[in-house]
A and B are shown apart, each in its own frame.
Chain A
Amino acid sequence: DQQVKQNSPSLSVQEGRISILNCDYTNSMFDYFLWYKKYPAEGPTFLISISSIKDKNEDGRFTVFLNKSAKHLSLHIVPSQPGDSAVYFCAASDRGSRLTFGEGTQLTVNP
């Protein structure tokens, strides 16, 4: 039972444009959500997180939106840069419990 889903395995955008990565979840107990960035043969790097009491959190070029009623969150990267090319994982937890990861989305930003 995949509780966190990233339905797009890949996404390709032009440099300077917006990248939108999507994530859906099924467990209504999740109340904390995170996005990680991962390069091949490396561990994930934390990007940004959001608590369920918020619907938006922004950090520089990265913004995460949470729609609790739809059980959907998205990561917006603007403007996208070639160095953003990586696999992006969303993860969810209910506090005090473990992280559940999505399958990941490979983002490619073309110069």
Chain B
Amino acid sequence: GAVVSQHPSWVICKSGTSVKIECRSLDFQATTMFWYRQFPKQSLMLMATSNEGSKATYEQGVEKDKFLINHASLTLSTLTVTSAHPEDSSFYICSASEQTTTDTQYFGPGTRLTVL
């Protein structure tokens, strides 16, 4: 149990375009979903926390107008990178939790974004 999927697993796009990444909890209802970003050989950096039906809480330094997060249902959250630029190229990982605390987060497989 506790499977989280992400789609797509990788995407290449042109600079200036927008990219949507989906995160789904397949066998449980995710009260809270988290979006992380990982640069090569670096830690996972939390970008934002979203609870179903409410606005996401963004970490300091993360542009909420650039990284749009929607958590419309208990099994789906989306991250849209708007007007992507090469510096947005990264590995984006989501996680989901049945609770509002962070104790039991289940991670998705990640999405590799490359912006040309």
Contacts and interface: CB of A to CB of B under 8 A. Distances in A.
Given A9-B41, A93-B102, A98-B102, A43 B46 contact: no
Contact of B101 (A44, A95, A103, A104): A95
A99 interface: yes
B93 A44 contact: yes
Most A CB contacts (10 A, CB to CB) among B42, B46, B102, B103 go to B102
A102 B44 CA distance: 8
Give the bracket for the number of chain A residues in contact with chain B.
20 to 34
Contact of A101 (B6, B9, B44, B91): B44
Contacts of A4: 43
Interface in A56-111: 89, 93, 95-104
B67 interface: no
**Nearest 5 pairs between A and B by C-beta?**
A43-B107, A101-B43, A101-B44, A103-B43, A93-B102
